[in-house]
């Protein structure tokens, strides 16, 4: 009986011990750049509480990818982003430019017109200047000023910020390699 009591105590004491918490997943080891990179992040202030989530997640992810020189610029709305992007690209201080904004149907302009104009202009900037421009300018088909929609798009902008950082870092690495090959006469 004494043995049974001791066995029961051992089982109880083992059950009282909390299981070990699982280890955090390993942090991915991202490639490093041969030269320092500097990125401009141009953010529209229209619906700032939503678009801020993109900037926050972008900055966190881009730092994990070994890019720590990021300058943030704010503009009133998405329509103003392309001009800022062009001026920033022409300075040659930045190896990439990221644009973030939320274009919604506000009743003045059709939101499709604004979004299309912004995206085409950003593409023109990158092709004219050879500075890559990344867009996290989103145009939902429907956006209402409700808490449900704002929460949904806040979460969506977190994802878009991470995706923009990934695309930015991968493109800059690819361009760094390509330009190195061109300079070495390997690619023309």
Backbone angles phi, psi at 159, to 5 degrees: -60, -45
Residue 15: both structure tokens together: 């059950």
**What is the pLDDT, as a whole number, of residue 3?**
53
**What is the pLDDT, as a whole number, of residue 103?**
86
**What is the pLDDT, as a whole number, of residue 112?**
74
**What is the pLDDT, as a whole number, of residue 1?**
46
**What is the pLDDT, as a whole number, of residue 151?**
84
Burial 80-109 (b: 16+ CB within 10 A, else e): bbbebbbebbeeeebbbbbbbbbbbbeeee
Active site residue 128: no
Confidence (pTM): 0.80
Selecting among 48, 93, 110, 128, the annotated active-site residue is: 110
**What is the pLDDT, as a whole number, of residue 167?**
97
**What is the pLDDT, as a whole number, of residue 91?**
97
Per-residue pLDDT of the chain (188 residues; tens, 9 = 90+): 445 445 555 555 555 555 566 676 665 778 787 788 999 999 999 889 999 999 999 999 999 999 999 999 999 999 999 999 999 999 999 999 999 998 886 666 666 778 889 999 999 999 999 999 999 998 776 666 768 778 888 898 999 999 999 999 999 999 998 888 888 888 65
**What is the pLDDT, as a whole number, of residue 148?**
75
**What is the pLDDT, as a whole number, of residue 5?**
45
Q: Rg for the chain (alpha carbons), in Å?
A: 24
Residue 177: both structure tokens together: 């390699």
């Amino acid at each position: 009986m004494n043995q049974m009591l001791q066995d029961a105590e051992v089982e109880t004491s083992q059950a009282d011990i909390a299981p070990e918490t699982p280890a955090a997943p390993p942090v991915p080891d991202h490639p490093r750049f041969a030269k320092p990179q500097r990125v401009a992040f141009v953010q529209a202030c229209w619906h700032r509480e939503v678009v801020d989530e993109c900037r926050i997640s972008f900055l966190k992810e881009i730092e994990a990818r070994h890019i720590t020189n990021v300058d943030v610029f704010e503009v009133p709305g998405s329509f103003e982003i392309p001009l800022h992007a062009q001026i920033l690209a022409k300075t040659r201080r930045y190896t990439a430019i990221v644009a973030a904004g939320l274009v919604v149907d506000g009743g003045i302009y059709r939101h499709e017109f604004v979004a299309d104009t912004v995206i085409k202009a950003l593409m023109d900037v990158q092709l004219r200047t050879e500075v890559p421009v990344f867009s996290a300018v989103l145009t939902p088909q429907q956006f209402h000023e409700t808490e449900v929609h704002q929460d949904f798009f806040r979460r969506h902008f977190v994802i878009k910020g991470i995706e923009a950082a990934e695309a930015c870092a991968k493109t800059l690495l690819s361009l760094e390699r390509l330009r190195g090959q061109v300079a070495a006469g390997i690619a023309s």
